[in-house]
Amino acid sequence: MGFYVDTAEMKKAVEEYQKLSKTAQSQLNTAKNAMNGIINSNAMSGKVRQAISADINNNQNAVLVGLKSSYLAVEMELHQAYQDFKGTTGESSDSAVLSEEVLIKAKSDIDKMKQTYQEQVKSFQSVYSSISDLISLSASKSDFNQVADATKKYADEIIKKVNQFDSKQGNSANEDMIQSLNIQIKSAQKVGGLSYTDPRFLAFANSTALADNVQAFQKNVTEADK
């Protein structure tokens, strides 16, 4: 099956995701504020407070911030992909529909029209030939074939450009971040039942690897969004 792209639907999908993204980011902010409220409360003290604070800062909040940045990154990627698609294919309309099957059928129809036209020209030439002794008349010259070939070439170019666009879409830094967050969540589940003073929990809670990666990712996304 070939490609089928409705640019109006693509644009609508981008806009719908933008709305969803903003709602999700707001909810993640609320969750992060709630986590910070735990850190700032007076309900904990001593080593337990230190362990929980470290876990929230290095893991819980890091995941929330990572998710928020990922939502924004996907939003930006979708918008950019839409713009890149229009730029790569040369399709500036927001309501165009590009279908490989339709384009291929159009090329086939053009070939059929060329054949029909050529048969018609032969018929004209036959008629002109039969009355050539009566009137000086030459067969009509037309650029039909030239236009038909140019149209086929244009259809080929659209197919080629859409395929070029598809081949350019590789893995993004956002996919790597989401994978890292999933790994972190699974790791958190493994230590979830441990005591806050357990060395295994403390090692997990005090690790800043994810928080550092999220901070760098957030910085890149924020700068790209300017």
Instruction: Tell me: pLDDT of 24 over 50.
Output: yes
Instruction: Tell me: pLDDT of 139 over 50.
Output: no
Q: Which one, of 140, 161, 144, lies nearest residue 110 by Cα? A: 144
- What is the identity of the amino acid at 210? L
Higher-pLDDT residue of 213, 159:
213
Cβ-proximal residues to 151 (8 Å cutoff; 6+ apart), any chain: 106, 110
The structure tokens listed for 219 are 């910085």
- Tell how far CA 173 is from the center of its chain: 13
Q: Which one, of 15, 56, 34, 100, lies nearest residue 188 by Cα? A: 56
- What is the identity of the amino acid at 135? I
pLDDT at 207: 95
Q: Across the chain, where does the E strand assignment appear?
A: 4-6, 97-99
What is the arithmetic mean of pLDDT over 7-31?
A: 84
Q: Which one, of 35, 33, 26, lies nearest residue 67 by Cα? A: 26
Instruction: Tell me: pLDDT of 140 over 60.
Output: no
Rounded Cα distance, 71 and 73, in Å: 5
Three-state secondary-structure class, residue 6: strand
- Residue 91 to residues 12, 85, 155, 172: CA-CA distances in angstroms? 16, 8, 12, 25
Q: Which one, of 36, 57, 53, lies nearest residue 44 by Cα? A: 53
Q: Give the confidence band of 204 by pLDDT, cuts at 50, 70, 90.
A: very high
Q: Give the residue extent of every domain in the chain.
A: 4-224
- What is the identity of the amino acid at 160? K
Which residues share a beta bridge with 97? Answer: 6
Higher-pLDDT residue of 148, 183:
183
Rounded Cα distance, 131 and 28, in Å: 85
What is the arithmetic mean of pLDDT over 185-207?
A: 91
Please state whether the predicted TM-score (pTM) of the whole model is above 0.85.
Answer: no
Do 171 and 12 touch, CB atoms closer than 8 A? no
Q: What is the pLDDT of residues 66-121, one digit of tens each?
A: 998 888 888 887 777 777 777 766 666 676 666 777 677 767 877 776 777 677 66
Q: What is the pLDDT of residues 25-76, one digit of tens each?
A: 898 989 999 888 888 887 778 888 899 999 999 999 999 999 988 888 888 8
- Tell how far CA 210 is from the center of its chain: 25
HSE-CB of 132 using CA atoms within 13 angstroms: 9
Instruction: Tell me: pLDDT of 216 over 80.
Output: yes
Instruction: Tell me: pLDDT of 143 over 70.
Output: no
